[in-house]
Amino acid sequence: MIGTFVNVGTIIVGSLLGGLVRKIISDRMNEMLFNAMGLAAFGLGINAVVQNMPDSKYPVLFIASLAVGGIIGTLLDLDGRVGRLTQDKGDGRLGQGLVTGSLLFCVGTLSILGPVQSALYQDHTYLFTNATLDLVTSMVLASTYGVGMCLAAGILFAWQGSIYGLTCLCGSFITDTMMTELSIVGGFLIAMSGLSILNLKDCKTLNFIPALFIPVIWCLAAGKLF
């Protein structure tokens, strides 16, 4: 898991550097960064959907995933729980930043296939590449939301660690189909996060996080049944 540790480290370093920058910029500049992050997240999300939709073998799976995942997340009140936690810490926007950052860090080809390559072949190339990208992303996010973005490193560790562990136990369980369906759902969630940052629509993105698990469960089940 050397690659994952490096990836986690770059997010922490990037968040600390970005947090220092945030202290010296004006409120006007800070607002500009919020708009930039919102537009970037929305654009990246839509791009992920458009790129992967033509390759989907289950064209309506993303609809079912968003609906079922949204119901589960709403019943668990994930958005409300995290919102109350970050408000108690004095930064109501930090929760929004953590959602956006975690999605950008975790929902991507490098972040998903990286632990698989690491577990099967001891090849950390994907994770080292992802770490470089996350260093820059975490700096920008922390300059907008503060040094609390370091918490996203823990989320990334849990995500990549789980994939690494499952791969060690089950072999290469991630298929191209699973990656495609997961990327579509993840793209919608990243776009939702962008809309929330821009204050166009509060989609309560955290309530939809369970939707990411539906394509994985479906593809694993389909592989056994068909």
CB of 98 closer than 8 Å to CB of 209 = no
Top mean pLDDT of 16-20, 22-26, 63-67, 146-150 is at: 63-67
Concatenate the DSSP letters of all residues of 122-148 into one string. ---HHHHHHHHHHHHHHHHHHHHH-GG
Which pLDDT belongs to residue 24? 81
Taking alpha carbons only, the member of 18, 183, 158 closest to residue 94 is: 18
For the ranges 2-16, 111-125, 162-176, the one whose mean pLDDT is highest: 2-16
* Structural domain range at position 149: 2-225
Tell me the pLDDT of the chain averaged across its residues.
87
Burial category of 34 from C-beta neighbours within 10 Å (exposed 0-12, middle 13-18, buried 19 and up): middle
Only one residue has tokens 């975690």, namely: 102
Confidence of residue 40 (pLDDT cuts 50, 70, 90): confident
Instruction: Give the per-residue pLDDT at 226.
Output: 54
DSSP string of the chain, one letter each residue:
-HHHHHHHHHHHHHHHHHHHHHTTS-HHHHHHHHHHHHHHHHHHHHHHHHHHGGG-SSTTHHHHHHHHHHHHHHHHTHHHHHHHHHHHTT-TTHHHHHHHHHHHHHSSHHHHHHHHHHHHH---HHHHHHHHHHHHHHHHHHHHH-GGGGHHHHHHHHHHHHHHHHHHHHSS---HHHHHHHHHHHHHHHHHHHHHHTTS----GGGGGGGGHHHHHHHHHHHHH-
49 or 94: which carries more pLDDT confidence?
Answer: 49
Supply angle C-alpha 168, 157, 160, rounded to 5. Answer: 40
- Residue 192, CA distances (Å) to 17, 66, 208, 217, 221 in order: 27, 11, 9, 23, 28
Residues 75 and 200 sit within 8 Å (Cβ to Cβ): no
Number of compact structural domains in the chain: 1
- Give pLDDT, residue 176: 87
pLDDT at 203: 85
Residue that wins the pLDDT comparison between 176 and 67: 67
Instruction: Place 208 in a pLDDT band, splitting at 50, 70 and 90.
Output: very high
- State the average pLDDT over residues 192-212: 88
Tokens of 88: 């108690």
pLDDT digits 0-9 by tens, 64-118: 999 999 999 999 988 887 767 666 555 557 778 888 888 889 987 789 889 988 9
Q: Tell me the percentage of the chain whose pLDDT exceeds 70.
A: 94
pTM of the model: 0.80
* 169 exposure class (CB count in 10 Å sphere: 0-12, 13-18, 19+): exposed
